[in-house]
């Protein structure tokens, strides 16, 4: 949802899982559900998709689209307005078959349909009030058999304007000077605006890498000339720099290391042959 590392933004398909009120998993655990309405104010977007998502991870210190640290735990299919020409859209939603537990946020966001380089903003969140400047979500505790009714709102003016984009690509390989790190669910090569890996920006493009498949090909949509930076992170993380393993131009042994610029010019095919060297023992 990578202003967002939606890293981030950025990484799950859609599904609407429907079931009966007594749905159970294979091990007999009774599941939960959430239903209600989300009210969206403003012009209905002509492109992209609106989706309600439930996250168990949320970092209040990061920008909204970075706060989840990864894809949602549960989510709806694309939502449709009952009247796209209206200025207020009251839309029912339902998420079923949810594992019991504590969830940090329920949000509504706009997805760009898989076009890299476009912001995927959070439009609203349960417990927050964007109009009052409140961007903190309210946690939701679910027990087996629960079917909570929740209602919240969002602002469609957060959806970015349509733009005409030019494609470019960044291609290369991630190598670790020592063994690949352990303790993370996945590792991502990220192309982002920020040159400071401790304060990452919403990824413009990202891809999973591993010791078995270290090559990457990032396709970026951009207008004019774009300058970005490549970094490698583990997911999930509590603080971005704690899960940063290196990036293009980064030298752990330098006194003041920095990520190097990646410059893509409009009309050019992109950059290839990059070797991004990382290390797990920092």
Label the pairing between strands 186-192 and 203-209: antiparallel
Distances (CA, A) of 172 to 113, 156, 169, 209, 260: 25, 37, 10, 11, 15
* C-alpha span between 218 and 227 (Å, rounded): 14
User: In this structure, are 225 and 151 located in the same domain?
Assistant: no
Residues 6+ apart with CB under 8 A from 54: 34, 72, 73, 74, 75, 95, 98, 103, 105, 106, 140
Last residue of one domain, picked from the residues 111, 132, 158: 158
Q: DSSP E strands: which ranges in 62-104? A: 74-75, 88-98, 101-103
Question: CA dist 229 to 214, 225, 235, 239, 258, Å?
Answer: 18, 14, 19, 19, 10
Quote the pLDDT of residue 247.
Answer: 96
Give the whole-angstrom CA distance, residue 260 versus residue 276: 11
pLDDT of residue 216: 92
The Cβ of residue 49 has, within 10 Å, a number of other Cβ atoms equal to: 17
Whether 241 maps to a domain, the answer reads yes
Do the Cβ atoms of 41 and 88 come closer than 8 Å? yes
* pTM for the predicted model, two decimal places: 0.54
* 216 and 267 share one domain: yes
> How many beta carbons lie within 10 A of that of residue 47, not counting itself?
12
Q: What is the pLDDT of residue 14?
A: 25
For residue 240, being part of any structural domain is answered with: yes
Query: Is there a single domain that holds both residue 145 and residue 222?
Result: no
Residues belonging to the chain: 282
- By the 10 Å C-beta count (0-12 exposed, 13-18 middle, 19+ buried), 209 is classed as buried
- pLDDT tens for the chain, 282 residues long, are 333 334 333 333 322 222 334 456 656 779 999 999 999 999 999 888 899 999 999 998 888 878 888 889 999 999 999 999 999 999 999 999 999 999 999 999 998 765 444 568 899 999 999 888 899 999 999 999 999 999 999 999 999 876 555 678 899 999 999 999 998 999 999 999 999 999 999 898 999 999 999 999 898 877 778 899 999 999 988 888 999 999 999 999 888 899 999 998 866 667 888 899 999 987
Q: Are residues 32 and 138 in the same domain?
A: yes
Domain encompassing residue 217: 166-278
Is-contact 74 53, C-beta < 8 A? yes
- Same domain, yes or no, for 28 and 65? yes
Domain boundary among 124, 158, 192: 158
Residue with tokens 């704690």: 242
d(CA 277, CA 184): 18
pLDDT in the model for residue 96: 96
Say yes or no: 125 and 198 in one domain: no
Q: Is 241 helix (H, G, I), strand (E, B) or coil?
A: helix
Which is nearest to 271 in space by CA: 189, 195, 171, 190? 171
| Domain end (from 158, 189, 216) | 158
Kindly list the distances between the CA atom of residue 237 and the CA atoms of 66, 71, 187, 240, 267, in Å, as whole numbers in the listed order: 11, 13, 11, 6, 36
Instruction: Give me the pLDDT at residue 224, please.
Output: 78
Which of these, 85, 96, 13, lies nearest to 49 by C-alpha position? 13
Q: Are residues 17 and 50 in the same domain?
A: yes
């Amino acid at each position: 949802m990578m202003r967002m590392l939606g890293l981030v933004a950025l990484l799950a398909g859609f599904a609407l899982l429907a079931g009966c009120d007594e749905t159970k998993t294979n091990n007999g655990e009774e599941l939960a559900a959430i239903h209600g309405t989300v009210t969206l104010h403003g012009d209905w977007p002509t492109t992209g998709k609106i989706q309600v998502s439930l996250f168990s991870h949320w970092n209040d210190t990061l920008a909204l689209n970075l706060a989840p640290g990864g894809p949602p735990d549960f989510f709806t299919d694309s939502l449709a307005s009952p009247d796209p020409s209206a200025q207020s859209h009251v839309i029912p939603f339902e998420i079923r078959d949810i594992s019991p537990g504590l969830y940090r946020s329920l949000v509504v966001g706009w997805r760009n349909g898989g076009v890299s380089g476009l912001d995927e903003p959070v439009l609203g969140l349960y417990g927050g009030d964007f109009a009052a400047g409140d961007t903190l979500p309210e946690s939701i505790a679910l027990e087996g058999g629960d079917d909570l009714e929740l209602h919240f709102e969002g602002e469609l003016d957060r959806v970015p304007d349509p733009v005409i984009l030019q494609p470019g690509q960044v291609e290369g390989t991630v190598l670790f000077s020592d063994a690949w790190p352990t303790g993370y669910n996945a590792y991502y090569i990220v192309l982002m605006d920020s040159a400071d890996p401790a304060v990452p920006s919403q990824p413009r493009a990202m891809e999973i890498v591993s010791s078995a498949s270290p090559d990457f090909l990032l396709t970026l949509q951009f207008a004019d000339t774009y300058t970005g930076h490549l970094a490698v992170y583990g997911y999930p993380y509590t603080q971005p720099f704690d899960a940063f393993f290196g990036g293009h131009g980064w030298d752990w042994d330098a006194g003041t290391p920095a990520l190097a610029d990646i410059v893509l010019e409009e009309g050019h095919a992109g950059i290839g042959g990059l070797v991004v060297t990382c290390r797990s023992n920092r």
